[in-house]
Structure 1
Amino acid sequence: MAKKKKIKSPSSIALNKQARRNYEFIDTLEAGLVLVGTEVKSLRKAQVSFNDGYINFKDNEAWLVGIHIAPYDHAGYTQHEPDRPRKLLLHAAEIERLKAKTEQKGLTVIPVRLYFSKGKIKLEIALARGRNVHNRKDELKNRDIARDTARQMVDY
């Protein structure tokens, strides 16, 4: 009898924690990244910062801008530039669709998380709309109310 192969879930490298707090996600996509060797080694050590990352569209290509991948310690003279724009690997139709939607008022494309999938580094991106302070406060209030009612229903 043959053994069943275990399907591993993608292991996460880094997560943009501010994204879900500051944005309302409309759609999410998986994109590949064009990286150099020292960037991959640095990402394996999870040395990445999503501080002000966003996706820019230029010449029918998508570029990841504002992500800081720290230099690899043991690279020698072949070091990468930490803050360089990185090309995203997406289909042309996906790029056109995202570009058209970002031209609408208030929509942007942001990086959500980096992870390994089948030995490749993937980036989850999201088409999102920015939230203001009042929306965030209302969401927190509604979440607290839902949690309290769930507790009361268990006790009842």
Structure 2
Amino acid sequence: MPKLIANAVLFQLGWFACVLGGDGPWLLAVLAIVAVHLLWVSSWQAEGKLLISVFLAGSALDSFLLNLGVFDFGEPRQLIPLWLACLWLLLATTLNHCLAWTARPWWRASLLGAVAAPLSYYGGAQIADVGLPYGTWQSLLLIGLIWAVAMPVLHGFAKLYRAQYEQSLRTRKLV
């Protein structure tokens, strides 16, 4: 239980570091948070693939939304800022831990994604001064729909990589 609470608190601290600090030195906090996660809550062997996959897939998804005009960071750009990409990395640290309860049944993940993601994006946009050119409600509705699908998919990544890791442990024990 202490590790689950630590996982949730570390995620929230990282969220604030990213949103409040932008692409500045506060991003070093994300490195520290991920290091603590990998040293105390989990390990690179257990979750490295998940962290990389969610970071890349999420960054691609948000960059796609940026190029569709859903986000406005106040300057022309093709890729999302590093602070937003780091939020995906932080999210990946929660999937097997404080958010594991949302994996089954699948609709829990969908419901969480549909409700919590728009709230998180809205809060982040307000704090970090990110524009939502399509309008607030329209953008948040779109984000909610996307996340209703994305969260079960992310849990699918977590389940796949967890099974691969557990299989590698069983294989090592046999050798």
Q: Scaled by the length of structure 2, what TM-score is found?
A: 0.23
**By percentage of residues, which structure has more strand?**
1
Q: Scaled by the length of structure 1, what TM-score is found?
A: 0.25
* Larger RCO, structures 1/2 (Cα 8 Å, 6+ apart): 1
Task: State the structure with more CA Rg.
Answer: 1
